[in-house]
Amino acid sequence: MTNESQEYQTCEACGVSAEMGFIIKENDDVADVKIFGGDKAALEAELANYLVLAKEVNANFKHEVSQLKDDSTELTARIQFECSAEKLIFELKTRSLMR
């Protein structure tokens, strides 16, 4: 092993997160979720799937949900995590629900 100074080399893997479009910002810890469904029961069932994923990321998450009526076809939920990285992990995990 030598202590020779090496010329600066660019790393092809550097910047991958920027290329993917994800940047972790301070205090960006709230995920907004919009769910569409045929009726109130379908919306609540789909919301339960999102809450299970949120709990996998951090059991200490907080959430609030828009008021639902029996004929609702749309639900909006705000899920707050303890830090921005947890929100990002949650958003990546929710991709499996969108398929």
Tens of pLDDT along 40-77? 999 999 999 999 999 999 999 999 999 998 889 999 99
For the chain, percent of residues with pLDDT exceeding 70? 76
- The structure tokens listed for 23 are 């940047």
Judged by phi (left if over 0) then psi (alpha if -120 to 50, else beta), residue 21 lies in left
At 46, the amino acid letter reads E
At 72, list the tokens: 């609702």
Report if residue 10 sits inside a domain.
Answer: no
CATH of the domain at 37: 3.30.70.860
The number of distinct structural domains making up the chain is 1
Q: Range of 56's domain?
A: 30-98
Q: Looking at the domain assignment, is residue 24 inside a domain?
A: no
**For residue 41, which phi and psi values (nearest 5 degrees)?**
-65, -40
Residue partners of 93: CB distance under 8 A and separation at least 6 = 53, 56, 57
- Residue 50 in any domain: the answer is yes
* Residue predicted with more confidence, 91 or 2: 91
Average pLDDT over the chain, rounded to whole? 82
Report pTM: 0.72
Q: Confidence class of residue 96 from pLDDT cuts 50, 70 and 90?
A: confident
Evaluate whether residue 14 is within a structural domain.
Answer: no
pLDDT for 18 equals 44
